[in-house]
Amino acid sequence: MMPLLLASTSRYRRELLDRLRVPFRVARPEVDETPLPGENPAGLARRLAQAKAAAIAAQHPEAWVIGADQVAEVAGQPVGKPGNRDAALAQLTAMSGQAIRFHTSICLQREQGPILLAEDVTTVRFRALGVEEIARYVDLEQPFDCAGSFKSEGLGISLFEAIESRDPTALVGLPLIELARLLREAGFALP
C-alpha cells in the first residue's frame, strides 16, 4: 500500500477522508494563506491546495499527499474563518438572504510525478436571518474555525434555503467524489 498523507490538521477533512477507508496519516503544512494581490477566490483555493500538498510532499517523497483548501466568496471577495464571535456574527449578518459560493480545491501529488487536481463549486443560499437567530446559532455551535461561520454538517443547515453542489462533502472541505477519482487514478484500490 502506498503511503498517503493528508496535508491538513482539519478534523473535518480527517473525518471525511476516513470514509474512504484508505489508511493515511496527517501532516501540518506550513503555508502562508494570505491572498495574493488581485487573486480571485477560486485561484486562491487552487494555489493553497497545491502549496499544502507540495510542502508535505517535499518532506515525504515516498508518499502521495492530499492538499485541500476552501475559500468562500461573497460578491467576488474571499471570506475566511471568523476566528471569534463578533466576526462570526458579522459574517452571517452579511450573508443573510444571499447566495455564497464555496470554492474547494484538492491536489494529490508526490514529490516526483504527476500532480492531480480537482475543484468543486458549491452555492449556499441563505434564508433571511434575524439578529437573534444568528446570535443563538453562533452561541450554540461556535463555528469560529469554519469559512462562512457555519457548520453545514451540524445546526448550520438550518440557516439555508438550498445547497447546490455536485458533491455534498465539498461544503465540509473535502470533495470525496473527486478525491476518490484522483486516488483511483493514482493507483489506490477503492470500490
Going by the DSSP 8-state scheme, the letter that residue 165 receives in this structure is -
Q: Please name the residue ranges forming H helices in the chain.
A: 11-18, 41-59, 85-95, 131-141, 176-185
For residue 86, which phi and psi values (nearest 5 degrees)? Answer: -60, -40
189, 178, 19: which is closest to 106 by C-alpha?
178
Q: Which three cell numbers stand for residue 9?
A: 490538521
139: closest CA among 155, 126, 158?
Answer: 155
Q: Is the torsion defined by CA of 135, 79, 147, 144 positive or negative?
A: negative
Q: Annotated catalytic sites, by residue?
A: 69
The type of residue at 191 is P
* Rg of the chain on CA atoms, in Å: 17
Cα-Cα-Cα-Cα torsion 65, 175, 104, 7, nearest 10 degrees, comes to -20
